[in-house]
Every structure is written in structure tokens, then in C-alpha cells.
Amino acid sequence: MTLSLHSDEQYIREALKQARYAFEEDEIPIGAVVVLDKRIIARAYNQTEKLQDVTAHAEMLALTAAANYVGNKYLQECTLYVTVEPCVMCAGATAWAQVRRVVYGAAEPKFGYRRHGQLLHPRAEVVSGVLADECEALMREFFARKRK
């Protein structure tokens, strides 16, 4: 099912819904959506524990679903929305998929791709900090609960 929205903030809110599913399943609460022509064509959340797969990050699952939707490995007209800055693996996947835009909420100082230089496609536009406080709060709550 596709959903028509029109702003980065609205799409990050949809990614946050996915992140909350991860939270409920005791997965690191990161969610992602892929948008094409103002329509969400893929949604995903972290499932590394559920699938016992270290590559089952929200972004990876969303990119795979989007590629299946469009019938092409290249997502040149798509935007990836994700609640937390992509890791190196996910940034590399967006580069290989030639994703046009990457929009994320919270920065990830420990594992985010920016620590390692420019890993996205050279023509990719990056927007950061969209609903960062909400995205960070969900991550803080998750890890505080883990420490108890």
C-alpha cells in the first residue's frame, strides 16, 4: 500500500512508526521508508535479532523492498528516510542503489557513516536532523531500558 505525503517531516514520522515496531520487538529502534514520486513504496525496521542477520537493518530491508517494487536495483529517483544516520553498510548500499536523497533524523556519532567520509552516492543530497529530538528520544529510551 502506498501513502501520499509531502514533507520530509511527515516521511520521518512514518519512519518513526516503523522504529516503534522495532522497539516493541526489542530491536534497536530504527525505521526507514523509501519514497518515489511522493509515495511511500517501502517500509522497514531493524530486524537483526528476529532474523538473526546482521545485515537486516531498516535501511537494507527498505532498499530491497523498494527495488522489488520498482523492478530495478537502481533507485535513482527515490528518497530514503531513516530515523538515525545510516551506518557504513547502509550508506554503501544507498550508494550502490544510487539513491537520490537520504534524509535522517538523529546523528549516530559512534557508528554513523559520516565518521568515515563520504560514502553515499556522489550526487546524493543529504538532509539531517529532521525530527532529531524524537528519533534520539526513542533510541535513549531503548538503551536505558536495556541497561536496567
What is d(CA 105, CA 66) in angstroms, rounded to the nearest whole number? 20
| 59 annotated active-site | yes
CB of 84 closer than 8 Å to CB of 57: no
Catalytic residue among 59, 77, 125, 134: 59
Residue 135 among known ligand-binding residues: no
* CA 51 remoteness from chain centre: 18
Decide: helix, strand or coil at residue 44.
Answer: strand
Residue 78 among known ligand-binding residues: no
Residue 116 among known ligand-binding residues: no
Binding-site entries: 57, 87, 90
- Residue numbers annotated as active site: 59
Binding-site entries for Zn(2+): 57, 87, 90
